[in-house]
């Protein structure tokens, strides 16, 4: 029996679905090893183990901080684990125990965040890049969530690709009853859900929507996600383009509202410039939304023939692809059917089984 620590400090963030589903499924398949789940104080009461061999431990060290280095390293050494799994690059670079690291994408290393102080973010980005390059070399194995990210990490860090294991993510159907977003009932709308960071390409999507309004005057664009100062800039852009009243910023939506939005939209549009997996598009497919997607990074790998693609840097190509899905009922129905089948290829249970195999290989090395 091995003693394994899983760093779950990001379980409540936008990328926390990965570690949450990993923990959920590991508890079903591994009754032998002892697991220590490291949680931030705010999440300690929220997450409860379902299996006797899983124990939660309060871990007060914030991500992207210097306290992640010496204090967190000392904390880990006291746990005396046989293996530590970090589902993100952020970790004590000086920790010498056995480590498996997941790198979901390299977006943070390549794009800025306009909601942060430029100088501070530039400095943290440089540290982040240094940490990535250090941890991939000291980790027994690296886990990525697409072949694209595997190749990207191998080139970026110059490590042997054989050290990198792919474990695809999955999308579940929301079980709660769909709850209408009242102001949108009976309306035709395009839909996007997610963070408003620059690599999501929402500014270009709003430009394209302004072009589409000329031939679809009643069409709306619905952007869901927690509002912040970045969203404020998109509100201003929509106003300047004359479509302010037609771009709906919902803010946070519940799971039941999200289900309704997926099922009711004319198309789910994913204009991103960089993704590690593209989970929202797959979730849209599960809920019978036709997906119109960027060709960037991993997206064609994950969506296969179940999405209608466009060049995310070409607003006219984006406009044409969305237009085709809006006006061609046969194409829409084909994408809906293909999307349901494509989503069935992925499984959280399989992801957990593959991750457990990585643990076994790391412990044996």
Q: Are residues 215 and 236 in the same domain?
A: yes
- In-domain check, residue 23: yes
- Band (pLDDT 50/70/90 cuts) for residue 6 is very high
Calculated CA dihedral for residues 8, 12, 16, 22, nearest 10 degrees: 50
Residues 314 and 186 placed together within one structural domain of the fold = yes
Task: Please indicate, yes or no, whether residues 191 and 215 belong to a single structural domain of this protein.
Answer: yes
Position 195 confidence tier, pLDDT thresholds 50, 70, 90: confident
Instruction: Tell me: do 240 and 152 sit in the same domain.
Output: no
189 within some domain: yes
The stretch 271-298 carries a mean pLDDT of 97
Is 174 part of a structural domain of the chain? no
Rounded to the nearest integer, the mean pLDDT of the chain is 94
User: What's the pLDDT band for 18 if we cut at 50, 70, 90?
Assistant: very high
Say yes or no: 68 and 198 in one domain. Answer: no
Task: Report if residue 318 sits inside a domain.
Answer: yes
| Predicted model pTM | 0.94
For residue 227, what pLDDT is reported? 80
For residue 56, the tally of other CB atoms under 10 A from its CB is 18
Q: Provide the percentage of residues in the chain whose pLDDT is more than 70.
A: 98
Q: Does the pLDDT of residue 305 top 90, yes or no?
A: yes
- Same domain? For 315 and 359 the reply is no
Whether residues 153 and 256 share a domain: the answer is no
Mean pLDDT across 191-196: 92
127 within some domain: yes
Taking residues 128-143, report their average pLDDT: 93
218 located within any domain: yes
**pLDDT at residue 269 tops 80:** yes
Q: Is 176 a member of any domain?
A: no
The structural domain count of the chain equals 2
Does 205 share its domain with 66? no
CA distance 72 to 133: 19
Q: What is residue 196's predicted lDDT score, i.e. its pLDDT?
A: 86
Tell me what the mean pLDDT of segment 166-189 comes to: 96
pLDDT (0 to 100) of residue 110: 81
- In a shared domain, residues 334 and 351: no
Q: Are residues 355 and 336 in the same domain?
A: no
Please tell me the predicted confidence (pLDDT) of residue 65: 77
Nearest alpha carbon to residue 253 among 185, 323, 314, 192: 192
Statement: residue 114 has pLDDT above 70: no
Rg (CA), the chain: 21
Q: What is the pLDDT of residue 66?
A: 77
In this structure, the answer to whether residues 157 and 87 fall within a common structural domain is: yes
Going by C-alpha positions, the residue among 295, 288, 296 that lies closest to residue 267 is 288
Query: Residue 43 maps to which CATH number?
Result: 3.40.50.2000
pLDDT at 2: 98
Distance (Å, whole) CA 13 – CA 17:
8
The answer as to whether 110 is a domain residue is yes
The mean pLDDT of 168-182, rounded to a whole number, is 95
> Same structural domain for residues 195 and 333?
yes
Structural domain range at position 158 = 3-169+347-364
Q: From CA 310, how far away is CA 99, in angstroms rounded?
A: 39
Contact at 8 Å (CB) between 308 and 327?
A: no
């Amino acid at each position: 029996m091995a003693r394994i620590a899983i760093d779950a400090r990001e379980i409540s963030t936008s990328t926390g679905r990965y570690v949450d589903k990993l923990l959920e499924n590991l508890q079903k398949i591994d009754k032998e090893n002892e697991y220590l789940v490291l949680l931030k104080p705010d999440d300690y009461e929220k997450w409860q183990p379902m299996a006797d061999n899983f124990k939660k431990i309060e871990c007060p060290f914030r991500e992207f901080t210097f306290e992640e280095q010496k204090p967190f390293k000392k904390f880990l050494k006291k746990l005396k684990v046989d293996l530590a799994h970090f589902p993100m690059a952020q970790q004590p670079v000086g920790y010498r125990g056995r480590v498996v690291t997941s790198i979901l994408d390299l977006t943070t290393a390549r794009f800025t965040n306009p909601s942060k102080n430029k100088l501070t973010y530039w400095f943290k980005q440089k540290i982040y890049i240094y940490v990535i390059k250090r941890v991939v070399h000291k980790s027994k194995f690296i886990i990525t969530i697409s072949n694209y990210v595997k190749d990207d990490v191998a080139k970026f860090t110059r490590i042997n690709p054989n050290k990198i294991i792919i474990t695809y993510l999955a999308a579940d159907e929301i079980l709660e009853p769909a709850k209408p977003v009242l102001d949108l009932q009976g309306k035709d709308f395009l839909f996007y859900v997610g963070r408003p960071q620059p690599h999501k390409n929402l500014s270009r999507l709003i430009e394209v929507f302004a072009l589409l309004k000329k031939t679809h005057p009643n069409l709306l664009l619905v952007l869901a996600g927690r509002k912040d100062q970045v969203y404020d800039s998109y509100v201003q852009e929509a106003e300047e383009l004359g479509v302010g009243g037609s771009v709906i910023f919902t803010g946070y939506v519940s799971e039941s509202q999200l289900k309704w939005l997926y099922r009711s939209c004319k198309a789910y549009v994913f204009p991103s410039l960089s993704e590690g997996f593209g989970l929202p598009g797959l979730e849209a497919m599960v809920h019978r939304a036709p997906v119109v997607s960027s060709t960037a990074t991993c997206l064609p790998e994950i969506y296969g023939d179940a999405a209608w693609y466009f060049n995310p840097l070409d607003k006219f190509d984006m406009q044409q692809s969305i237009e085709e899905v809006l006006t061609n009922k046969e194409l829409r129905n084909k994408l809906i059917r293909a999307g349901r089948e494509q989503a069935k290829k992925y499984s959280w249970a399989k992801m957990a089984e593959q991750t457990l195999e990585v643990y076994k290989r790391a412990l044996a090395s």
